[in-house]
Every structure is written in C-alpha cells, then in structure tokens.
C-alpha cells in the first residue's frame, strides 16, 4: 500500500496471499500428488500396456493369417512381436506428459484395435 494513498496498489489486489510452498501441508500434498501420479503411470504402463499388447497381438495374428501365413505361424510371429510391442507401449506411457494423457492414449488406441479385432475375427 502506498503511504500517500488510502487505496491498495493494483498489483496487490491481483495477487492474493498464497500458502507458503514450504509449509508441511503443501509439501505433504505435493508428495501425495507425486505418489498418485507414479502409481497411475505404473498401472497404465503395466496393466494398460498388457491389455493393449494383447489386442495388438490378436489383430496382428489375424492380419498375418489373412495375407497367407499359416495360422499357427501367424500366432507365433505375433506373439514374438508382442514383446517389442509391450516395451514400446510401456515406454510411451512413461514418456507421456501426464498420467491422464497416457490413459487417454491407451484408450484411444484400444478402441480402433478392438474394432479391427471384431472385423477381422474369423467367427464374424
């Protein structure tokens, strides 16, 4: 506040007082958010990557069988490729900017794969 004026300065009106970032409550909240983010990424990177890998493996085996490969060989080739697919998906999940984006990416990729799996299924 300016000693010559009875009105507060505009800069102090726009910046309300904030909590001390080094206070124990702020540190505990930050640590909790960090633990939740790590847990979400770990679940997405393991369970989500596993689910998406299974879908990609099934679709790949269907495609390989459609192009003329023996069904058993198509399944073995797709299963061998699944190890690299899982690693790539897990790395992409941990490379994502946030756990939410990683989950959206997993779901956004799983939906088209599920549709392809349904269309290519020999039982349809």
Q: Give pLDDT tens digits for 8-33.
A: 555 555 655 555 666 776 667 788 88
Query: Would you place residue 123 in the very low, low, confident or very high pLDDT band (cuts 50, 70, 90)?
Result: confident
pTM of the model: 0.72
- Which pLDDT does position 15 carry in this prediction? 59
Helix, strand, coil fractions of the chain, as percent rounded to 5? 75, 0, 25
CB 100 within 8 A of CB 37: no
- Which pLDDT does position 112 carry in this prediction? 96
- Which pLDDT does position 31 carry in this prediction? 84
Query: 71-92 burial string, b = 16+ CB within 10 Å, else e?
Result: eeebbebbeebbeebbeebbeb
Predicted confidence (pLDDT) per residue in 76-117, tens digit? 999 999 999 999 999 999 999 998 999 999 999 999 999 999
Predicted confidence (pLDDT) per residue in 33-87, tens digit? 889 989 999 989 999 999 999 999 999 999 999 999 999 999 999 999 999 999 9
- Which pLDDT does position 30 carry in this prediction? 83
pLDDT top residue among 2 and 27:
27
* Chain Cα centroid distance, residue 72: 32
């Amino acid at each position: 506040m300016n000693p010559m004026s009875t009105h507060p300065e505009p800069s102090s009106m726009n910046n309300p007082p904030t909590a001390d970032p080094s206070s124990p409550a702020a540190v505990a909240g930050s640590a909790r958010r960090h633990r939740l983010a790590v847990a979400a990424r770990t679940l997405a990177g393991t369970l989500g990557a596993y689910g998406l890998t299974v879908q990609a493996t099934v679709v790949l085996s269907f495609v390989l069988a459609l192009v003329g490969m023996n069904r058993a060989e198509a399944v073995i080739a797709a299963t061998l490729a699944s190890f690299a697919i899982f690693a790539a998906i897990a790395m992409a999940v941990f490379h994502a900017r946030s756990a939410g984006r990683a989950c959206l990416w997993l779901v956004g990729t799983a939906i088209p794969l599920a549709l392809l799996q349904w269309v290519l299924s020999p039982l349809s």
